[in-house]
């Protein structure tokens, strides 16, 4: 099979798993894990597209690098939010914090 | 020979991704889910290696495994539900409508996109040679300097925000 | 700037510490490596007690069976058996508590008890060393200096019986062995 | 036959496999040597002989220790997560082998001559903190949990000054290949980076002492506070693997320090490998010397040293280095 | 897969005691430090409630090595109780010897010959140095420094050798007797003690350089466990703990017993009352003890070592008595109530470690776990003395 398609399929698999996880998980941390899966899929797709097509190689690699930086920033922020949520509501269950009353 | 090794490596990495990903979304125990995530991360790093992008692979391990997953681990440790056990969550009821919807929401975009990818993929070029690190650096400080600066700003803002949120938590006590 | 100076001073204090350990590193060892070498200050160490033989007869203890050591011992680790010459049965030490104020003697200043007209014979003198706390009250309270400390610091054993020491047998054994040694020396 | 073997060894894959095998042997032997060395150094500093009974001068003591560890029962505490509990020591040990690959023991003796060797070591050594996390979490023990939390905070914090100090050297050499960096320093004693980057060397060494959880930064296993920290519950080889990993990481950071700052294999008369090993073990001796001299710092002090001193100093050093390079060119 | 360690608590009385706080806020962790723990130096258990690494509440739990010393005093005759005194506080056994012997002497009106008094001072102060040296090493061990304890032991071993000459034992001395001491000191003892005093004075700067001046140690001790004089009084703290807070109270000076009023010595005090001050006080006290020993050796008179007019039987008259001496850890008090028989009617021991330990719960509140260990070390607790 075409190697490009193979890599893209792996990336899509990650996306699917991430989507499934984000709907199925109840805790915020679990959702964060699912989001990381999807971000990884994005990075993989970017790199594969850049490496195996005539597109500029650097574009894909740097794009994936930026995705990683974004993931780190996002994880930091989400961690802080989760802590605040856990402090306020005593749980990180997404269902219990559906109200915005605070 | 090379071809075979590459296929075998791809298979191995894909297996890592699948097994890890399933563990990440299905394990009741959040720490096990995290281990699943880490397995997936390694799988993706392996795929980067396979595409002759070792820098990216190592960065993947350095950033994701060394930093992000450790942060997640902290989040798991610090959010203990009262009465319940930390790092343990009961997933939504199995095989209900929601489960079906979950599977569908995961499968639908993947299947649609997979069709597009499989149908309209351009022919893959033979693997280009490894991009030297210096060239990546030149690009980062040249054409992509805005993105580079933006991501730094995002990181700084995220850190500041996290610190602020943390302080608010202390005050709330 | 002050903080920088303070940090530098702190680093210097660490370096001073390192210098001291480095100097100690090359100094000779001060431990005594036991199985090969033993400590040499056991002369003043006071291990478990032993019976002192009479000056003229190394096989017979000096003990006059006044029971003071048995009575003073806080942990009751001395057992004494004796009989009066002519009487058929021996008298074992009273197994009950003998803490009546009439018999306890703190330590005697080496005053001999009143002379006895009956002759007493020591049948047994045992020390339960696992109970002994080496306080030395028995040695002090003995009016005739019939008990003394040994310098036995290396007493080890795997059973409790090892520490139940028959001091009378020990004394007689020692006397026999010295006599044998003396005989052997004379023969040589 | 011999020709075949050499041909196989010249092939990158064969070379790597051979290197991995050699490294595994080295890690094992090295564990024994360092255990002996640590105990002897401790003994001499405390003016006692150290191990003495098993074998001549106690040389077989580490072998006896290893035998004891191997023969012990592997107990899993009640309520522990078996998978995580036993995955942790393995995860702690596994990256060690990879970390050894890019280290240039001599101009020729390098497991794998990778361009990104430094990055490889940094990336894989980061796994150790994760292993400590799992150990702490999986043990179902409060002391372990506290130890794990400390280990993570410490590892994450000290990775930054470590990277900063390494970057200064990488800037100058323009390469992340340890062999190239070491090669750069073979032009006499003064070309050693420790003279051009003394501050970077200082930061690197302090940070690496902290990264390897060595005293005075051994908070994750602070025995007077946390009994044994993250490995409280481990018995037998579970503990042995953590132990071996700790010593291997010591060798790795000291080898990296040697290659980065101390001229690698550079030295007169003797072949390079001996110089390299001598420098590595010299640095390890200093680490042991620290351990047997200093008390332990407190946790907030540990983080203060990192955030208030090492990171600003590292940044300063990096900026100054960059400026100097710009000016010189 | 129980990871909520709090839920797994089987919960005896003391841990349940902490449970209400848990329900209102699930963020805390209850940790049992001890009964077997490297930092408690004995079988002491401290239950702490941790918020992160901060101690929210703590409570020491006693009684793990209760040996009924007080009760034993009531079933044994006066001389038979002597060996017990070496075992209440095994590190400063001679001070306890002295407290008990002194109480009985005071009750019976026995005068002690001057030579015996000086010998008591010399041996007791030597014992004090050895106790402080052990504390010094153990405290550094608490703070993660492994080597100092062995350096301290090298000096301590010499003291034990010296004390062995007269007492015959090395740790649990039973040397003092009603009206004197067991054996007279020998010339060897005097020479060795003189030599030790000289050498030890030269060793003290090494201790200072290695440890006291060390930045890490200062960071671990300064401003940790600040004990105000008022609080120290409230809990009845004595000894170096009290003096570290700036209260110059020393039984040897303020309720002089024996010949201490004839010897010149300073009472070192601290200012802030933190762990470092307690540390410095003990280090200074060792130098003062050396000073006392040197003076006592100079002034050592000839004569008996046991009172010649000692009654045959130790049966004090009816009455009660309280006698206190200054131990290495503080004021050691013995209260005796005699009903005129051969055994005490009641014997009460006031042990300094008990009062000093009671400080801990308040001092440790709000500190880091590592600081709590440092505080506990700086209080210099001897657990058997607490559970007497």
pLDDT on residue C99: 40
Q: Span B119-129, mean pLDDT?
A: 71
Beta carbons within 10 angstroms of residue D322's beta carbon? 14
Do the Cβ atoms of A32 and B75 come within 8 Å?
A: yes
d(CA B57, CA B49): 6
CATH of residue A57's domain is 1.10.287.3510
Do the Cβ atoms of B73 and D159 come within 8 Å?
A: no
Most confident range, picked from A1-5, B87-91, D319-323 = D319-323
| DSSP-based three-state secondary structure for D62 | helix
Do the Cβ atoms of E3 and D215 come within 8 Å?
A: no
Q: Which of residues 2-21 of E touch B (CB under 8 A)?
A: 2-4, 7
Domain contains D52: no
Cis peptide before E35 (omega within 30 of 0): yes
Do the Cβ atoms of D218 and E144 come within 8 Å?
A: yes
| DSSP-based three-state secondary structure for B21 | helix
Q: Span D40-54, mean pLDDT?
A: 85
φ/ψ of E362, rounded to 5, equals: -75, -40
Judged against a pLDDT cut of 60, whether residue D303 lies above it is answered with yes
pLDDT along chain C (188 residues), means of 10: 81 80 80 82 84 84 82 85 65 43 46 58 85 86 86 85 87 87 83
pLDDT band at E23 (very low <50, low <70, confident <90, very high): very low
For residues D242 and D92, the answer to whether their CB atoms sit within 8 Å is: yes
Do the Cβ atoms of E312 and C105 come within 8 Å?
A: yes
Nearest residue, CB atoms, E80 vs list C45, C72, C140: C72
Q: Is B112 on the interface with D (CB under 8 A)?
A: no
Contacts with E240 (C-beta within 8 Å, 6 or more apart), sequence order: E278, E281, E282, E285, E328, E329, E330, E380
pLDDT on residue C40: 81
Judged against a pLDDT cut of 50, whether residue D295 lies above it is answered with yes
Nearest residue, CB atoms, D298 vs list E38, E141, E220: E220
Q: Considering just the CA atoms, what is the radius of gyration of chain A in Å?
A: 17
For residues D143 and D223, the answer to whether their CB atoms sit within 8 Å is: no
Nearest residue, CB atoms, E4 vs list B29, B31, B80: B80
Q: Span E217-239, mean pLDDT?
A: 86
Nearest residue, CB atoms, D292 vs list E1, E53, E146: E146
pLDDT on residue B88: 55
Residues from chain A that touch B102, judged by Cβ atoms under 8 A, are 20, 23-24
d(CA D162, CA D35): 26
Residues from chain A that touch B41, judged by Cβ atoms under 8 A, are 36, 40
pLDDT on residue C48: 87
d(CA E342, CA A14): 88
Beta carbons within 10 angstroms of residue E228's beta carbon? 12
Convert the pLDDT of each residue in E86-107 to its tens digit: 888 888 889 999 999 999 988 8
Domains identified in chain E and CATH numbers? 69-350 (1.10.645.10)
φ/ψ of B129, rounded to 5, equals: -70, 160
Domain contains D11: no
What is the interface pTM, i.e. ipTM, of the complex? 0.79
Beta carbons within 10 angstroms of residue E72's beta carbon? 15
First to last CA, chain E: 42
Pairing relationship of beta strands E28-33 and E45-51 according to DSSP bridges: antiparallel
Q: Is B88 on the interface with D (CB under 8 A)?
A: no
CA dihedral E179, E183, E186, E192 (to 10 degrees): -90
pLDDT on residue C94: 45
The residue range of the domain holding A35 is 3-99
Do the Cβ atoms of D83 and B32 come within 8 Å?
A: yes
Q: Is C31 on the interface with D (CB under 8 A)?
A: yes
The larger pLDDT score, comparing residue C92 to residue A72, is at A72
Q: Span D301-314, mean pLDDT?
A: 86
The CB-side HSE value for E107 (13 A sphere, CA atoms) comes to 27
Extract the runs of DSSP E, i.e. beta strands, from chain E: 28-33, 45-51, 54-61, 176-177, 180-181, 319-326, 331-338, 344-350
Residues from chain E that touch C41, judged by Cβ atoms under 8 A, are 161, 164
Find, among E7, A31, C144, D248, the residue nearest to B25 by Cα.
A31
Domain contains B18: yes
Contacts with D215 (C-beta within 8 Å, 6 or more apart), sequence order: D290, D291, D292, D294, D296, E144
Q: What angle do CA D224, D228, D230 make, to 5 degrees?
A: 135
Alpha helices for chain B (secondary structure H): 2-26, 30-50, 54-59, 69-78, 97-120, 133-141, 145-172
For residues B41 and D103, the answer to whether their CB atoms sit within 8 Å is: no
Adjacent-strand bridge partners of D163 = none
Nearest CA in chain D to E153: D46
Q: How many distinct structural domains can be found in chain A?
A: 1
d(CA E268, CA E281): 6
Structure tokens at E309: 């007019």
Convert the pLDDT of each residue in E191-217 to its tens digit: 999 999 998 888 888 888 777 778 888
Which chains share 3+ C-beta pairs under 8 angstroms with D? B, C, E
pLDDT on residue D1: 65
pLDDT band at E335 (very low <50, low <70, confident <90, very high): very high
Q: Considering just the CA atoms, what is the radius of gyration of chain E in Å?
A: 22
Q: Is C29 on the interface with E (CB under 8 A)?
A: no
Q: How many distinct structural domains can be found in chain B?
A: 1
Do the Cβ atoms of B151 and A52 come within 8 Å?
A: no
The larger pLDDT score, comparing residue E383 to residue E39, is at E383
Q: Which of E7, E28, E215, E216 to mutate to test the interface with D (most CBs of D within 10 A)?
A: E216
CATH of residue B68's domain is 1.20.120.1200
Number of residues that this document lists for chain B: 173
Q: Span D84-94, mean pLDDT?
A: 85
DSSP state, D115? T
For residues E78 and E343, the answer to whether their CB atoms sit within 8 Å is: yes
Domains identified in chain C and CATH numbers? 42-87+117-181 (3.30.70.3270)
Residues from chain E that touch D291, judged by Cβ atoms under 8 A, are 146
The residue range of the domain holding D183 is 77-328
Do the Cβ atoms of B80 and E1 come within 8 Å?
A: no
Nearest residue, CB atoms, D224 vs list E39, E147, E368: E39
User: What angle in degrees, to the nearest 10, is found between the helix axes of D236-261 and D198-211?
Assistant: 170
Do the Cβ atoms of B32 and D119 come within 8 Å?
A: no
- Average the pLDDT over each of C82-91, E230-239, E336-345 and give the range with the smallest value: C82-91
Judged against a pLDDT cut of 80, whether residue E301 lies above it is answered with yes
The residue range of the domain holding B29 is 2-83+130-172
Q: How many distinct structural domains can be found in chain D?
A: 1
Distance from CA of A75 to the nearest CA of B (A): 6
Distance from CA of E245 to the nearest CA of C (A): 25
In the C/E pair of chains, how many CB contacts fall below 8 A?
103
| DSSP-based three-state secondary structure for E27 | coil
Nearest CA in chain C to D290: C18
Do the Cβ atoms of E144 and D146 come within 8 Å?
A: no
Q: Which of residues 30-49 of A touch B (CB under 8 A)?
A: 30, 32-34, 36-37, 40, 43-44, 47-48
d(CA B56, CA A47): 9
| DSSP-based three-state secondary structure for E61 | strand
Judged against a pLDDT cut of 80, whether residue B92 lies above it is answered with no
Q: Is B81 on the interface with E (CB under 8 A)?
A: yes
Domain contains B72: yes
Convert the pLDDT of each residue in B45-60 to its tens digit: 888 888 888 888 888 8
Convert the pLDDT of each residue in D159-217 to its tens digit: 888 888 888 888 888 778 888 887 778 777 777 877 888 888 889 988 888 888 887 88
Find, among D155, D183, E129, the residue nearest to B71 by Cα.
D155
φ/ψ of E184, rounded to 5, equals: -80, 155
Convert the pLDDT of each residue in E265-295 to its tens digit: 888 888 888 888 888 898 889 889 999 999 9
Domain contains D292: yes
Do the Cβ atoms of D296 and E373 come within 8 Å?
A: no
| DSSP-based three-state secondary structure for C116 | coil
Cα dihedral across residues D96, D101, D102, D107: positive or negative: positive
Residues from chain A that touch B101, judged by Cβ atoms under 8 A, are 23
Do the Cβ atoms of A68 and B135 come within 8 Å?
A: no
| DSSP-based three-state secondary structure for E185 | coil
Most confident range, picked from A63-77, B88-102, D211-225, E191-205 = E191-205
Beta carbons within 10 angstroms of residue A73's beta carbon? 22
pLDDT on residue C19: 81
Structure tokens at A27: 């805790």
Do the Cβ atoms of E211 and D295 come within 8 Å?
A: yes
Structure tokens at C87: 């009487």
Distance from CA of E171 to the nearest CA of B (A): 48
């Amino acid at each position: 099979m075409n190697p490009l398609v193979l890599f893209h399929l792996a990336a899509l698999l990650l996306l699917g798993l991430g989507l499934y996880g984000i709907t199925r998980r109840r805790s915020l941390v679990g959702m964060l894990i699912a989001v990381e899966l999807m971000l990884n899929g994005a990075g993989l797709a970017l790199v594969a597209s850049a490496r195996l097509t005539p597109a500029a190689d650097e574009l894909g690699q740097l794009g994936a690098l930026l995705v990683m930086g974004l993931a780190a920033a996002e994880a930091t922020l989400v961690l802080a939010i989760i802590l605040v949520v856990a402090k306020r509501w005593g749980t990180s269950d997404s269902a219990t914090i559906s109200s915005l009353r605070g | 020979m090379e071809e075979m090794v590459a296929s075998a490596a791809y298979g191995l990495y894909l297996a890592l991704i699948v097994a890890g990903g399933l563990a990440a979304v299905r394990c009741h125990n959040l720490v096990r889910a995290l281990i699943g995530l880490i397995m997936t991360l390694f799988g993706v790093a392996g795929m980067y290696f396979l595409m002759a992008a070792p820098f990216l692979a190592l960065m993947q391990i350095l950033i994701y495994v060394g930093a992000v997953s450790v942060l997640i681990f902290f989040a798991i440790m610090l959010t203990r539900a009262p009465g319940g056990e930390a790092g343990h969550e009961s997933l939504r009821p199995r095989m209900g409508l929601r489960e079906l919807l979950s599977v569908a929401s995961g499968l639908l975009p993947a299947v649609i996109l997979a069709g597009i990818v499989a149908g309209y993929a351009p022919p893959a070029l033979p693997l280009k040679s490894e991009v030297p690190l210096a060239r990546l650096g030149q690009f980062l400080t040249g054409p992509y300097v805005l993105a580079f600066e933006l991501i730094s700003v995002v990181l700084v803002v995220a850190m500041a925000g996290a610190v602020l949120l943390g302080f608010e938590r202390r005050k709330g006590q | 700037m002050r903080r920088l100076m303070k940090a530098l001073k702190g680093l210097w204090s660490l370096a001073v510490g390192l210098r001291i350990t480095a100097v100690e590193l090359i100094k000779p060892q001060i431990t005594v490596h036991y199985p090969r070498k033993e400590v040499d200050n056991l002369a003043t160490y006071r291990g478990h007690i032993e019976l002192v033989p009479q000056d003229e007869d190394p096989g017979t203890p000096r003990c006059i069976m006044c029971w003071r050591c048995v009575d003073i011992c806080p942990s009751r680790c001395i057992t004494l058996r004796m009989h009066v010459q002519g009487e058929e049965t021996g008298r074992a030490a009273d197994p009950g508590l003998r803490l009546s104020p009439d018999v306890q003697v703190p330590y005697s200043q080496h005053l001999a008890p009143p002379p006895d007209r009956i002759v007493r014979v020591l049948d047994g003198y045992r020390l339960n060393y696992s109970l002994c706390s080496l306080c030395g009250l028995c040695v002090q309270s003995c009016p005739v200096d019939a008990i003394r400390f040994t310098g036995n610091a290396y007493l080890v054993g795997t059973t409790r019986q090892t520490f139940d020491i028959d001091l009378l047998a020990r004394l007689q054994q020692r006397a026999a062995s010295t006599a044998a040694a003396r005989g052997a020396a004379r023969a040589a | 036959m011999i020709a075949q073997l050499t041909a196989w060894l010249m092939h990158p894959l064969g070379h790597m496999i051979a290197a991995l095998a050699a490294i595994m042997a080295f890690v094992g032997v090295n564990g024994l040597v360092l255990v002996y060395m640590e105990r002897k150094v401790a003994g001499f500093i405390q003016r006692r002989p150290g191990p003495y009974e098993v074998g001549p001068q106690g040389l077989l003591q580490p072998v006896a220790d290893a035998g004891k560890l191997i023969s012990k029962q592997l107990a899993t505490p009640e309520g522990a997560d078996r998978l995580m509990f036993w995955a942790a020591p393995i995860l702690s040990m596994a990256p060690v082998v990879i970390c050894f690959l890019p280290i240039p023991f001599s101009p020729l003796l390098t497991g794998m001559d990778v361009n990104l060797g430094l990055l490889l070591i940094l990336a894989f050594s980061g796994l150790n903190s994760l292993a400590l996390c799992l150990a702490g979490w999986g043990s179902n023990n409060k002391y372990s949990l506290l130890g794990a939390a400390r280990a993570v905070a410490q590892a994450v914090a000290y990775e930054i000054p470590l990277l900063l100090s390494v970057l200064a050297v990488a800037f100058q050499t323009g390469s992340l290949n340890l062999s190239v960096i070491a090669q750069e320093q073979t032009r006499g004693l003064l070309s050693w980076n420790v003279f051009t980057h003394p501050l970077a060397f200082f930061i690197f060494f302090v940070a690496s002492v902290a990264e390897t959880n060595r005293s005075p930064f051994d908070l994750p296993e602070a025995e007077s506070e946390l009994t044994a920290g993250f490995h409280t519950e481990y018995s037998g080889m579970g503990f042995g693997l953590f132990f071996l990993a700790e010593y291997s990481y010591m060798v790795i950071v000291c080898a990296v320090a040697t290659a980065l700052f101390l001229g690698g294999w550079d030295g007169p008369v003797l072949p390079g490998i001996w110089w390299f090993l001598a420098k590595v073990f010299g640095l390890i001796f200093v680490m042991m010397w620290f351990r047997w001299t200093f008390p332990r710092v407190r946790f907030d002090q540990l983080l203060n040293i990192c955030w208030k001193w090492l990171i600003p100093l590292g940044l300063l050093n990096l900026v100054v280095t960059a400026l100097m390079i710009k000016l010189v060119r | 897969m129980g990871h909520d360690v709090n839920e797994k608590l089987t919960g005896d009385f003391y841990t349940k005691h902490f449970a209400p706080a848990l329900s209102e806020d699930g963020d805390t962790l209850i940790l049992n430090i001890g009964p077997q723990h490297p930092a408690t130096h004995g079988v002491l258990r401290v239950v702490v409630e941790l918020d992160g690494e901060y101690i929210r509440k703590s409570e020491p739990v006693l009684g793990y090595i209760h040996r009924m010393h007080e009760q034993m005093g009531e079933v044994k005759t006066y001389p038979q109780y002597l060996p017990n005194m070496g075992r209440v506080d095994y590190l400063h056994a001679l001070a306890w010897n002295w407290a008990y012997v002194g109480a009985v002497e005071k009750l019976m009106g026995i005068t002690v010959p001057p030579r015996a008094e000086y010998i008591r001072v010399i041996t007791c102060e030597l014992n004090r140095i050895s106790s402080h040296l052990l504390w010094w090493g153990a405290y550094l061990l608490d703070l993660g420094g492994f080597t100092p304890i062995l350096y301290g032991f090298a000096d301590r071993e010499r003291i034990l050798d010296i004390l062995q000459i007269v007492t015959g034992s090395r740790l649990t001395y039973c040397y003092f007797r009603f009206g004197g001491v067991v054996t007279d000191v020998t010339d060897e003892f005097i020479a060795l003690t003189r030599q030790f005093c000289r050498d030890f004075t030269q060793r003290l700067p090494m201790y200072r350089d290695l440890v006291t001046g060390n930045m890490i140690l200062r960071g671990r001790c300064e401003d940790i466990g600040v004990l105000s004089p008022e609080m120290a009084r409230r809990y009845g703290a004595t000894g170096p703990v009290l003096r570290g807070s700036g209260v110059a109270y020393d039984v040897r000076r303020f309720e002089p017993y024996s010949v201490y009023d004839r010897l010149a010595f300073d009472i070192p005090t601290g200012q802030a009352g933190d762990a470092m001050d307690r540390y410095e006080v003990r280090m200074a006290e060792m130098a003062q003890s050396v000073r006392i020993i040197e003076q006592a050796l100079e002034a050592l008179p000839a004569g008996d070592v046991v009172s010649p007019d000692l009654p045959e039987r130790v049966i004090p008259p009816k009455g009660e008595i309280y006698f206190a001496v200054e131990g290495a850890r503080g004021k050691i008090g013995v209260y005796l109530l005699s009903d005129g028989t051969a055994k005490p009617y009641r014997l009460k021991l006031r042990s300094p470690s008990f009062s000093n330990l009671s400080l801990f719960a308040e001092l440790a509140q709000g500190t880091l776990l590592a600081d709590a260990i440092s505080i506990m070390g700086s209080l210099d607790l001897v657990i058997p003395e607490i559970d007497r």
